[in-house]
Amino acid sequence: MSTKTAVTLVSRALAIYLLAWFVSDFTYLPPQLFSLFHYANRLNEIGGSSYSRDWELISLASRLVRMVLLFFGIQWFYRSGPAIQQYLLAPEADDPDSSQ
């Protein structure tokens, strides 16, 4: 197995791992949205606190940012482009004339 094939294999395995993480985060969205709407509706009550609503909003925003970054990470690792190969392979492994 060549080193480029190994890098492609490892890169795709990392993409699958990131995809599983993305799907896991995606499954937490409905309960988090439900909780956010619950606390937003409680603000209308007398003495309602905005702390819980703000906490849920920040938590949801951070989850969405993480999901966007995971999505782009999945794309980058799955394509296994030259940037990944340069990063994972030693410079002398790419250059056949480095032994001179």
Question: Is 57 within 8 Å of 2 (Cβ atoms)?
Answer: no
Query: For the chain, which residues make up each domain, given as ranges?
Result: 3-89
Give, in order, the Cα–Cα distances in Å from 7 to each of 4, 37, 48, 54, 73: 5, 45, 54, 43, 16
pLDDT tens per residue across span 42-94: 777 766 678 888 899 999 999 999 999 999 999 998 988 777 877 777 666 44
Question: Is 7 within 8 Å of 94 (Cβ atoms)?
Answer: no
Q: What is the DSSP letter of 45?
A: S
Confidence category of residue 98, pLDDT binned at 50, 70, 90: very low
Closest-CA residue to 53 (of 34, 41, 36): 36
Question: Is 89 within 8 Å of 11 (Cβ atoms)?
Answer: no
pLDDT tens per residue across span 24-48: 999 999 999 999 888 888 777 766 6
- For residue 22, what are its two tokens? 């993305």
